[in-house]
Amino acid sequence: MQTIQPAEDYAFIKKKEQANKGKSKSGLLYIPETAQEQLNIATVINVGSNVKYELDDEILYKPYAVIDVKVNDEAYLMVNKEDIIGKIVDVAS
């Protein structure tokens, strides 16, 4: 199996799939996938030496700042650390 070791300022990520493909939030109206709002959330797979995120972190990234990569017939993304907006964390209530 192959993977990619990103350059020092990049993260190798996998985009999270949307839970409501093909339906609106109410479930009553069909909205084509191409018209749905895209979530820019991904899971970190590997990072370069200058990236502060860790494996399996969920991050939010800028939508048009990624490079599409295909490895072992799976779709991944490469994103520069400056285009990562933040980390998604659970907050205790």
56: left (phi over 0), alpha (psi -120 to 50) or beta: left
pLDDT band at 30 (very low <50, low <70, confident <90, very high): low
Whether residue 23 is predicted with pLDDT greater than 90 in this model: the reply is no
CB 28 within 8 A of CB 39: no
In a domain, 93, yes or no: no
| Residue 5 belongs to some domain of the structure | no
Its domain, for residue 25, covers 10-87
Handedness of CA 61, 44, 59, 30 (dihedral sign): positive
Residue 2 lies in a domain: no
Contact 46, 88 (CB under 8 A): no
Is 1 within the bounds of a domain? no
pLDDT tens digits, residue range 46-55?
999 999 999 9
First-to-final CA distance of the chain: 41
User: Does the residue 92 lie in any domain?
Assistant: no
Query: At residue 18, does pLDDT exceed 70?
Result: no
Q: What is the CATH number of the domain that holds 46?
A: 2.30.33.40
